[in-house]
A = this chain, B = another copy of it.
Amino acid sequence: MRSFEELSQLFSQRFTSDHFPATPASLYDPNRTFLQLGGKRIRPVLCLMGHELFDDITEETWQLSMAVELFHNFTLIHDDIMDQAPLRRGLPTVPAQYGVNTAILAGDVMLIKSYEYLNRIGLGHLPAILHLFNQTAREVCEGQQLDMDFETMEQVSLDQYLRMIELKTSVLLAASLQMGALLGGATQRNQERMYEFGRKLGLAFQVQDDYLDAFGDPTKFGKQVGGDILANKKTFLLIHALETANSAQASRLNQLLKNQPEDKVEQVLGLYRETGVDAWALELKQRFLNESMHALEDIAVLSARKKPLIELAQYLIQREL
């Protein structure tokens, strides 16, 4: 079992090949430029690690990992349209640079290209991989739609939010691991454990992301701290605060949601501390991380082989906290 860093480097070397035809350049250059922005390549490496937990990585898992990374980039391009995002990794997004129409088509061909890579998987595994890939792809779209729906909903329950995060973030991590495991010859049960490991890890990651946006160290956290609060974004923290606040606290919080006082971030953070959602979030994160680890422990392979996956989970979850 190689480490995340080692596999990530190997993947990046392969992934630099040109995925698209030269023409029409107006369609394919935006995708080429976008892929050059790089990224942590977490999902394709999860495919590789999912496979390597059970057996030596084969050519078809390399093809799968490229499909998964292209799929992820398709979602980023279309999400940047929907979020009207001007920048990604400090550079203009595809819609900002090339317009919405080209961004729609660039995303579409990115998605189609991912199926071209999937079609290089052998007949013994192709239908099962396609099945899981298709289902996951649709779920990721469902998650994005729910996320947009929540923006205009008065109330979102914790269960609804969890389900949205699961769809938008977790299922692709989970399916990447499972598809890799499937190609590595894992039993159905072990595949399901891998899926569960990824699903819970994704939830833990999102709790952490919401927490850091409010309580993170601005010098370490990649984005503006308090951004979610200023945007009234429904997060684990806000949803749980609204669900557990006493009536005085709830009325103060609702007032703050309707207004933008200069010290809004500080006031909301004060309420989060009063209602104890900061500690609750850290506990919730730990609970998801524990459940994730239990799923991994439950897989019947030598513990030593699991080390890189455990290290990856720790890296994803504990950085910058």
Q: Which of B105, B118, B119, B137 contacts A141 (CB 8 A)?
A: B105
> Does chain B have a CB within 8 A of A318?
no
Establish whether residues A138 and B109, one from each chain, have CB atoms under 8 Å apart when the complex forms: yes
Stretch of A49-57, A127-135, A228-236, A289-297 contacting B (4+ beta carbons < 8 Å):
A127-135
Q: What separation, in Å, do the CA atoms of A82 and B137 have in the docked complex?
A: 23
- Cβ of A239 under 8 Å from chain B: no
Interface residue? A116 (CB, 8 A): yes
Tell whether, in the assembled complex, residue B102 and residue A100 are in contact, meaning their CB atoms are under 8 Å apart.
no
Contact string, A92-113, partner B, CB cutoff 8 A, digits 1/0? Answer: 0000000011101101110111
CA distance A79 to B25 in the complex (A): 20
A282 to chain B, nearest CB (A): 30
Q: Known contacts A119-B130, A119-B131, A123-B123; is A148 also within 8 Å of B112 by CB?
A: no
Contact assessment for A145 and B26 in the assembled complex, using a CB-CB cutoff below 8 Å: yes
Question: A127 touches which one: B109, B123, B142 (CB < 8 A)?
Answer: B123
CB-based contact A112/B137 at 8 Å: yes
**Which listed residue, B102, B119, B131, B134, touches A134 by the CB 8 Å rule?**
B119
- Please list 29 pairs of residues, one from A and one from B, whose beta carbons are closer than 8 Å in the complex, sorted by A's number: A24-B146, A26-B146, A27-B141, A78-B104, A78-B105, A78-B108, A81-B100, A81-B101, A81-B104, A82-B105, A101-B148, A102-B145, A105-B144, A108-B108, A108-B111, A108-B141, A109-B138, A111-B111, A112-B137, A112-B141, A113-B134, A115-B115, A115-B134, A116-B138, A119-B130, A119-B131, A123-B123, A123-B126, A123-B127
Give residues of chain A (113-168) contacting chain B, Cβ–Cβ below 8 Å: 113, 115-116, 118-119, 123, 126-127, 130-131, 134, 137-138, 141-142, 144-146, 148-149
Q: Is the CB of A145 within 8 A of B105?
A: yes
For residue A120, which residue of chain B has the nearest CB?
B127
Closest to A27 in B: B145
CA A24 – CA B145 in complex, angstroms? 8
Which residues of chain B are within 8 angstroms of A131 by Cβ–Cβ distance? Answer: 119
CA distance A108 to B103 in the complex (A): 13
- Taking each of A27, A104, A144, which has the highest tally of chain B beta carbons within 10 Å of its own beta carbon? A104
Whole-angstrom distance from the CB of A271 to the nearest CB of chain B?
A: 31
CB distance from A99 to the nearest CB of B (A): 9
Nearest residue, chain B, Cβ from A104: B78
Question: Which 7 A-B residue pairs are closest in the complex by CB-CB distance?
Answer: A27-B145, A82-B101, A119-B130, A112-B137, A109-B141, A116-B134, A123-B123
